[in-house]
Structures are given as C-alpha cells and as structure tokens.
C-alpha cells in the first residue's frame, strides 16, 4: 500500500499557473480514487494586447513563483514531492510505433522492450526541432515515455513479458521539453523546497488517460483550449496517436472582439458574457453575432488544418470532448458543430462536440465529491496522479 504523502501539483498553461496541495487517500479498492484536496490556488498571466515571447516567459515565471509562495507557509503541510503538468507550448510529443521481426521467436523481457524504446527515444529527440529558438544553447529533455499497447505476433497483449514471439510491436508516447526551461522550474522549486523531487508530465496525456478510464472514450478527439494555444489530440482504439496545436486560444477571441468593438479586452469579454445570457438589445446582439461569425471563420481555418493533420494517417472520430475557459470554450464548440468537414471525416454528419466541465467529471468520478473548487485541469491532474500511485501499488 502506497504511503499517504502530500504532493504539490502544478498546472502550467499558456494563460495561468495553478497549484493544488493534495494527500493521497488509502488504497481503497474502487475503480477511481482521488487524493484529498488540502488547498488550491491559480494565478493568471497578465493579459497582453500583443503576444511577446520575452514578456510571456517573464509573466509565466512570476505566476510560478506566486504559486510556490501560496503553498510555502509554515502552517501548511510541506509537500513530499512536486508534480508539474505542462500544456502547449511547453512540450513536444509524439506517439511512435516500433516493429521488429526476428527470424526465430525470442523471449520478451523488460530489458528488450526498454532497449528498443530507448533507441527510439534518442531518435525522437534528435529529430525534434528546438521548442524555443530564442533560447541559446538549449537542449531537449525527455519527460515522458509511456507504452500504451503491445502486440506479439500481431495479437495485442497486456502481459507481454515472459512470452515468446518473432514479431514484436508496441506503441509508446514520448514527450520532451526545453532543458533550460525545466531547469528554471527546478531552481524555483529548490529555492523553497530543497531536496523535494520534481516530476514532469504533459496535460494531454493526463487528459487522455482520465477520459479513457473514466468516460470509456476509446475513439474521440480531445480539445484543450488554452489562453494562447489550442491543442487537439486524437484517441483511436485506446491509443493517444497524436496531438496537434495552433496559436489561437481563448485570448484570440478576446483580442478579436476588443479590436472589432474598438474597446479594451475587459469590456469585450463582459460584452460576450452579456450576449451569452441573452441580455443584449437587438442591435448589440446582431453586432456580436456578426463579430463571432468572423472570428469563427478565422479560427476554423486553423482548426481544420490541424484536423487534417490528425486524420492524415488515422480515421478521425466524429466526437470532440473539449476543456477550457467556461466562457470561451462553448463559443468554439458552436463553431465546431456548425462547420462542414467535407473530405476530412468519414461521416457526413459533422462533429459532435461537448464541453467537459468539473461538474461532469464529478458525475463520473464519485470520489471527487462536491469539492470546494471547480478547477477542471487540476481535478483531471489529481485523478491522473492518483492513478499513477495506484499502479505503483499494484
């Protein structure tokens, strides 16, 4: 049984940094367990009318420091470990399939699979361009290697070790990040919590794992709407095949409306919320409808380009599960549902899109309870973190 150690979970996004102090529960034999939440916090990055990479990183590190400060009080439990989840643009990932055919059957061992995966991981790192070209003398650091499926002699198996096969095939998810960016995160953590281990994961893999286990979503597109970036992940036959992103997130719509209405971002967002409540007069409503249609046309162009890249080698599912800002994400969902996808999808019915809210997650994950907060990204990451602990305990 794993120990009830306190962990600090940190969620790094393109518009905010969130944190949750959690304590794993005892090893209850239920399908989905979640840690006990001790405290949560989130700091948003300052909204910029124009995106500047240098200021963006400065704002990010400021928010990261504030999160660490929020959980640094002596009266709070000190975390035994720090678990950081990265969203775009802070990582690159790829699901790769390794196939090997031998003239005679060989015994499949952990060492054999590990050696094949390690060689492929090195190739992935060498082929991936720098994440941030403005960071001089940077390098890649591999942060995740997850084997999702193994086939022996063309048959999938969940217990490959110890068996013999002449044909070995497995799919594994690899992710990497900027070595210098990760080192900076480690330095900030070590300044207040020396000797605390820090582990990095990617949010798309956590989202995939939770949706697969909690919602039984084995064929679905996952959309994560960030502040500056939209990520789309393709799940087919229980495997996370690929994640594609494009630089139009929720802040794109706010900037678009602010420019269209000749106002400041705060007023543009307020006007959108009034419109969604149906409180606008007819003229203002028609003007907002027109602006949203124009913004939607621009956003959908990049969305369809990303969709085409995802479905180039795999049949695309006709269902999308979206996470993101509670005001902006429903707008994108309506754009997706109303668009035509000729030559992109096998079905002519378009895409079925729905919003994954904290309330919806709690309906399927009873252990989350009612909870004092509704930060979906942190809730998903807690669920994923708990799953990892339970796997270690088995």
Q: Max Cα separation, the chain?
A: 76
Domain residues for the domain of 101 are: 93-175
Residues 312 and 171 in one domain: no
Q: What strand order describes the sheet that includes 198-202?
A: 36-44, 16-23, 7-12, 81-86, 198-202
Decide: residue 226, CB within 10 A, 0-12 exposed, 13-18 middle, 19+ buried: buried
Say if residue 240 is in the same domain as residue 292.
Answer: yes
Whether residues 244 and 335 fall in one domain: yes
In the block, which residue shows the tokens 């994640």?
243
Mapped onto helix, strand or coil, the DSSP state of residue 114 is helix
Same domain, 162 and 273: no
Contacts of residue 355, Cβ cutoff 8 Å, sequence gap at least 6: 322, 323, 329, 330, 333
| CA atoms of 192 and 195, how far apart (whole Å) | 10
Task: Say yes or no: 250 and 266 in one domain.
Answer: yes
Residue 206 lies in a domain: yes
Question: Is residue 360 domain-resident?
Answer: no
3-state DSSP assignment of residue 137: coil
294: which DSSP letter?
A: H
| Whether residues 210 and 80 fall in one domain | yes
> Where among 149, 175, 201 does a domain terminate?
175
Q: 254 and 351 share a domain?
A: yes
- Residue 367 resides in a domain: no
DSSP of 324-373? E-TTTHHHHHHHHHHS--TTT-S-SS--EEEE--HHHHHHH-GGG-S-S-
Considering only CA atoms, which of 88, 29, 51 is closest in space to residue 243? Answer: 88
Number of domains in the chain: 3
Helix (H, G, I), strand (E, B) or coil at 175: strand
Same domain, 14 and 80: yes
- In this structure, the answer to whether residues 330 and 244 fall within a common structural domain is yes
Q: State the pTM of this model.
A: 0.90
Separation of CA 340 from chain center: 26
Q: Give the CATH number for residue 275.
A: 3.30.420.40
Let me know if residue 365 belongs to a domain: no
Provide the 10 A C-beta neighbour count for residue 76: 14
Kindly list the distances between the CA atom of residue 171 and the CA atoms of 246, 329, 392, in Å, as whole numbers in the listed order: 25, 31, 21
Q: Is 366 part of any domain?
A: no
- Nearest-angstrom CA–CA distance, 174 and 117: 10
CATH of residue 134's domain is 3.30.1490.110
Say whether both 171 and 257 belong to one domain: no
Count H helices and E strands in the chain, helices first. 10, 14
Name the CA dihedral angle for 364, 370, 372, 374, rounded to a multiple of 10 degrees: 30
Distance CA 157, CA 162 (A): 12
Is residue 251 included in any domain, yes or no?
Answer: yes
CA 67, CA 208: separation in Å to the nearest integer? 26
In a domain, 261, yes or no: yes
Q: Are 137 and 189 found together in one domain?
A: no
End-to-end Cα separation, the chain, in angstroms: 8
Q: For residue 321, how many C-alpha atoms fall within 13 Å in the half-sphere facing its CB?
A: 20
Residue 12 lies inside a defined structural domain of this protein? yes
Instruction: Note down pLDDT in tens along the chain; length 394 residues.
Output: 345 678 899 999 999 999 999 887 654 454 445 567 888 999 999 888 787 888 999 999 999 999 999 987 666 788 888 999 999 999 999 999 999 999 999 999 999 999 999 999 999 999 999 888 888 889 999 999 999 999 999 999 989 999 999 999 999 999 999 999 999 999 999 887 777 789 999 999 999 998 888 887 778 999 999 999 999 999 988 899 989 999 999 999 999 999 999 999 999 999 999 999 987 788 888 999 999 999 999 999 999 999 988 888 777 788 899 999 999 999 999 999 999 887 777 666 778 899 998 888 877 765 565 556 788 999 999 888 877 766 554 4
d(CA 147, CA 331): 35
CA nearest neighbour of 248 among 289, 300, 212, 322: 300
Q: Are residues 154 and 117 in the same domain?
A: yes
């Amino acid at each position: 049984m794993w120990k009830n150690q306190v962990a600090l979970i940190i969620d790094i996004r393109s518009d905010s940094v969130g944190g949750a102090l959690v304590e794993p529960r005892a090893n209850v034999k239920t399908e989905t367990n979640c840690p006990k939440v001790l405290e949560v916090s989130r700091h948003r990055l300052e909204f910029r009318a124009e995106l500047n990479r240098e200021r963006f990183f400065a704002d990010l590190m400021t928010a990261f420091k504030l999160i660490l400060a929020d959980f640094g009080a002596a009266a709070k439990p000190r975390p035994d470990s720090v678990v950081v989840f990265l969203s775009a643009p802070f990582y690159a990932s790829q699901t790769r399939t390794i196939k090997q055919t031998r003239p005679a059957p060989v015994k499949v061992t952990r060492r054999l699979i590990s050696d094949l995966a390690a060689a492929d991981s090195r190739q992935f790192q060498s082929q991936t361009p720098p994440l941030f070209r403005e960071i001089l003398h940077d390098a890649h650091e591999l942060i995740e290697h997850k084997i999702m499926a193994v086939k022996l002699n063309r048959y999938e198996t969940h217990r490959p070790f110890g068996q013999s096969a002449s044909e070995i095939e497995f799919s594994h998810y690899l992710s990497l990040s900027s070595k210098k960016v990760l080192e900076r995160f480690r330095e900030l953590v070590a300044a207040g919590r020396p000797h605390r281990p820090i582990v990095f994961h990617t949010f798309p893999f956590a989202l995939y794992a939770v949706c697969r286990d909690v919602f039984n979503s084995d064929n679905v597109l996952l959309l994560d709407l960030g502040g500056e970036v939209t990520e789309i992940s393709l799940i087919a036959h229980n495997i996370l095949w690929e994640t594609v992103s494009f630089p139009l997130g929720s802040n794109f719509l706010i900037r678009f409306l602010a420019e269209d209405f000749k106002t400041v971002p705060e007023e543009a967002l307020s006007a959108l919320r009034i419109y969604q409540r149906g409180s606008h007069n007819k003229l203002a409503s028609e003007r907002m409808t027109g602006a949203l249609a124009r913004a939607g046309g621009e956003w959908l162009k990049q969305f369809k380009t990303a969709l085409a890249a995802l479905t180039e080698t795999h049949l695309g599912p006709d269902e999308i599960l979206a996470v993101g800002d509670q005001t902006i994400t429903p707008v994108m969902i309506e754009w997706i549902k109303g668009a035509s996808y000729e030559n992109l999808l096998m079905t002519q019915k378009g895409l079925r899109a729905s919003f994954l809210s904290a309330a919806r997650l709690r309906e399927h994950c009873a252990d989350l309870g009612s909870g004092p907060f509704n930060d979906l990204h942190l809730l998903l990451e807690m669920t994923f973190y708990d799953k990892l602990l339970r796997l270690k305990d088995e």
